[in-house]
């Protein structure tokens, strides 16, 4: 017996019922982004490996442990399946000179890849929605992106998602903070775990992001970056907070919020939920003013955020959202050669009028077809036998009567069936 081939662990199939649920979610996302004038950009899944090493930082878990990297067998080029979207988006903006035309509000959706241990809400292939604004220097765009999240949670019917906020200041301020952190952790080096000792001199800020319970008390006593911030960085941070306060948006300042990528500066934020267990972050981002220049472009301010689709879907489910197929409007039942030919034309005519149609295929008796029509969830069955075909008519049968609508079938002409269906739908919506 030939062995079955299974999907790669942590890279999941999304089956039809679930995929339709995802599509409805994506339609909400696109509508929400259009309302803020963000435009779509579609990016390659594979990028040059140096792009991520330069953008994310070589001393990060993503680059050190999690990237799917390989050498192109044709030309020896090092390539990587994208582990996140910002670097590729900035690369595209630089390559196509988009910021020179005007500031850009962009978004993308798609798969990201990280080689890590799969668990609930964390997979090796996972989906993100990424939002990037390039060319805007002030705190107003930071605050807009944060408030966008608040609106989306409302659109999705989600509650219990809290905002955490911090500032990482500018590079010179972080350098002073870095020296303070090294001195502090050197004094307590015996308490550090292996990751902490490895990062002590290469990137001590990462120690603050450790999830090791044994380090939490030590981290709480570490020097805080906000004590090193100058007037400009503080003013920017206050500007973001003022817009949020004016909008009535609650937030918590979390000085330990540092994000896992090297390119951030100034504002960083996370939307978190206690309904997803240990993986509580559903949306995160911040400002990355130095990245455009770092990747070879002219200096330009930028900020953005990303959302994990699987985690948001899990929250929607937890809030009572259900997967399942959206039922079609009409199921076309037919039997007989002339009837089948007419039925195909009727189905296409109904689709021309914007009516969703499931056309029965595979033959079978009227009784068996009607069982399938009823099980499909369709609102109507359009029934065509040779008798109807010879008369140029169809039998229209309501399958989901509501209100005072009777469950009575009637014969109508082929030319009027679309109007009859649309009229019935309007009557139902008004009842």
Instruction: Judge whether 84 and 261 are in contact, CB under 8 Å.
Output: yes
Instruction: Please report which helix (H) or strand (E) contains residue 198, including its range.
Output: helix 194-199
The Cα angle at residue 225 between residues 222 and 228, in degrees rounded to 5: 120
In whole angstroms, give the CA distance from residue 343 to residue 337.
10
> Beta partners for 315?
none
Q: Which residues are annotated as a binding site for L-histidine?
A: 84-86, 114, 128, 132, 259, 263-264
Instruction: Please report which helix (H) or strand (E) contains residue 265, including its range.
Output: strand 265-273
In whole angstroms, give the CA distance from residue 66 to residue 87.
16
Residue of 250, 260, 321 lying closest to 286 (CA atoms)? 260
Task: Report residue 337 as tokens.
Answer: 């050669």
Residue of 356, 353, 385 lying closest to 369 (CA atoms)? 385
Residues whose CB is less than 8 angstroms from the CB of residue 216 and which lie 6 or more positions away in sequence, other chains included: none
Instruction: Please report which helix (H) or strand (E) contains residue 381, including its range.
Output: strand 380-384
First to last CA, the chain: 58
Q: Which residues are annotated as a binding site?
A: 84-86, 114, 128, 132, 259, 263-264
In whole angstroms, give the CA distance from residue 89 to residue 58.
19
Task: Report residue 139 as tokens.
Answer: 């705190």
In whole angstroms, give the CA distance from residue 151 to residue 156.
9
In whole angstroms, give the CA distance from residue 9 to residue 12.
8
Instruction: Judge whether 281 and 209 are in contact, CB under 8 Å.
Output: no
Residues whose CB is less than 8 angstroms from the CB of residue 118 and which lie 6 or more positions away in sequence, other chains included: 9, 10, 124
């Amino acid at each position: 017996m030939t062995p079955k081939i299974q999907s790669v662990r942590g890279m999941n199939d999304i089956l039809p019922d679930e995929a339709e649920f995802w599509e409805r979610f994506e339609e909400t996302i696109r509508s929400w982004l259009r309302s803020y004038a963000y435009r779509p950009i579609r990016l390659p899944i594979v990028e040059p490996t140096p792009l991520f090493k330069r953008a994310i930082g070589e001393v990060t878990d993503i680059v050190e442990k999690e990237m799917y990297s390989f050498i192109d067998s044709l030309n020896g080029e090092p390539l990587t399946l994208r582990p996140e979207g910002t670097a590729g988006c900035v690369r595209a903006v630089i390559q196509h000179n988009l910021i020179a035309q005007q500031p850009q509000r962009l978004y993308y959706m798609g798969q990201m890849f990280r080689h890590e241990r799969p668990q609930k809400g964390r997979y090796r292939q996972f989906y993100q929605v990424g939002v990037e604004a390039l060319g805007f220097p002030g705190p107003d765009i930071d605050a807009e992106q944060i408030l966008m999240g608040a609106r989306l949670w409302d659109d999705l019917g989600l509650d219990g998602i809290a905002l955490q906020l911090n500032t990482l200041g500018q590079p010179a301020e972080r350098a002073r903070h870095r020296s303070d952190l090294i001195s502090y952790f050197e004094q307590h080096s015996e308490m550090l775990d292996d990751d902490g000792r490895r990062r002590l001199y290469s990137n001590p800020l990462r120690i603050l992001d450790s999830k090791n319970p044994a380090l939490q008390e030590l981290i709480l006593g570490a020097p805080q970056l906000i004590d090193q911030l100058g007037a400009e960085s503080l003013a920017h941070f206050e500007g973001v907070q003022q817009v949020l306060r004016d909008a009535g948006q609650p937030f918590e300042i979390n000085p330990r919020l540092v994000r896992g990528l090297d390119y951030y500066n100034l504002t960083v934020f996370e939307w978190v939920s206690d309904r997803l267990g240990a993986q509580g972050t559903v949306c995160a981002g911040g400002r990355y003013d130095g990245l455009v220049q770092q990747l070879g472009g002219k200096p330009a301010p930028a900020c953005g955020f990303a959302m994990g689709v699987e985690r948001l879907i899990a929250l929607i489910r937890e809030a009572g959202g259900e997967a399942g197929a959206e039922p079609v409007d009409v199921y076309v039942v037919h039997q007989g050669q002339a009837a089948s030919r007419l039925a195909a034309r009727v189905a296409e005519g109904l689709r021309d009028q914007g009516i969703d149609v499931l056309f029965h295929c595979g033959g079978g008796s009227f009784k068996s077809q009607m069982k399938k029509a009823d099980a499909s969830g369709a609102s109507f069955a359009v029934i065509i036998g040779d008798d109807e075909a010879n008369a140029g008519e169809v039998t229209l049968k309501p399958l989901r009567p509501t209100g005072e609508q009777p469950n009575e079938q009637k014969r109508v002409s082929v030319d009027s069936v679309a109007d009859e269906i649309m009229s019935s739908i309007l009557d139902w919506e008004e009842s």
